[in-house]
Amino acid sequence: MPRIAYLGPEGTFTEQAARQLLADTTEGHADLVPAESVAAALDAVRSGERDAACVPIENSVEGSVTSTMDALADGTPLVAVAETMLPVRFDILVRPGTTVEDVRTVTSHPHALAQVRRWLSVNLPDAAHAATTSTSAAAVAVRDGQADAAVCAPLAAERYGLSVLAGQVADVEDAVTRFLLVRRPGAVPPPSRADRTTVVVVTGDSVGSLARVLNEFALRGVNLTRIESRPIKGSFGEYRFFLDFAGHVNQAHVGEALAALRRHCQDVRFLGSFPRADEGGSSGSDEAFTAAAEWLAGIRSGGRA
């Protein structure tokens, strides 16, 4: 049975994402093990102690998870083989029997409190707010009577024996978090209807070096879905670029663009090609590339152009 690490503690959105990712694969059963940090989860895969890791990569409201990006860009290479997206909707959890009138204190991780601030100000305007180190720690605090209500991932209610005072709470209706399932390099998942590929590149710092990278994509019809510069060593000065784009490394137009990057960037790290979790994307077509390759082969073999 594969052993999958995820960013813990238990009962958070990341455990929920890990369960969803595993349900989507044929494996079905797996041993899910919480890790203390993203770096610890990835290092457990690198060392062979775990077979894969589920980690958050970006939130549509909060932005990128920089600890995940940096941990994937440094150290022994790992690759993402799947992604999933979860709506950021919280449950407000209380001890069974607690009513709205009983709630004097609300607790959660500051990020979670921030994401339901408006809802709290309308529905629990008089409750004091207290911070915890995770949404699950908030559930524990409510279970143990240290607070009256916790802002949690839906998974936490059953896990900690709490009742749902209000469900599906979110200030931003469509907020979503994207998670990756990451493994040691091996066979790339085959192309699907719509894939995403992710790389990190170091371009060198001459003027126009990033424009050259993007031109290689644009010239081949490859559509970017995310770009972000990140300082290399935790201080401003040297940068690397994280790029997500539509398509699969096995496609001709994507492969040719990646090979071009390899030729003129200081460093290119492939972080995986995998089916997209969002609707409406497409991987772009290799049709024109295949026809042109046949035409070229024809010329080279002495046929008519």
Question: Where does this chain bind a second copy (CB under 8 A)?
Answer: 60-64, 66, 85, 109-110, 113, 129-133, 137, 172-176, 178, 205, 207-208, 210-212, 214-215, 217-219, 221-224, 226-231, 233-237, 239, 241, 278, 280
CA atoms within 13 A on the CB side of 119: 20
List CB contacts of 273: < 8 A, sequence separation 6 or more.
Answer: 188, 189, 191, 195, 196, 197, 247, 248, 249, 250, 254
When the beta carbons of 28 and 280 are compared against a second copy, the nearer one is: 280
Cβ contact 91:142 at 8 Å: no
When the beta carbons of 183 and 248 are compared against a second copy, the nearer one is: 248
In the complex, least distance from residue 185 CB atom to a second copy, rounded to whole angstroms:
26
Determine the 3-state secondary structure of 8 from DSSP.
coil
When the beta carbons of 98 and 223 are compared against a second copy, the nearer one is: 223
When the beta carbons of 20 and 223 are compared against a second copy, the nearer one is: 223
Longest alpha-carbon distance in the chain: 86
Cβ contact 116:90 at 8 Å: yes
- Helices vs strands, H then E, count in the chain: 10, 15
Please give the angle made by the CA atoms of 200, 24 and 272, to the nearest 5 degrees.
15
When the beta carbons of 4 and 12 are compared against a second copy, the nearer one is: 12
In the complex, least distance from residue 106 CB atom to a second copy, rounded to whole angstroms:
11
Residue 14 CA to residue 33 CA, distance in Å, equals 11
CA atoms within 13 A on the CB side of 305: 4
In the complex, least distance from residue 169 CB atom to a second copy, rounded to whole angstroms:
15
When the beta carbons of 33 and 85 are compared against a second copy, the nearer one is: 85
Beta bridge partners of 3: 31
In the complex, least distance from residue 300 CB atom to a second copy, rounded to whole angstroms:
29
In the complex, least distance from residue 73 CB atom to a second copy, rounded to whole angstroms:
13
Residues belonging to the active site: 177, 179
Question: Sign of the CA dihedral 42, 48, 54, 60?
Answer: positive
Cβ contact 91:153 at 8 Å: yes
Cβ contact 109:134 at 8 Å: yes
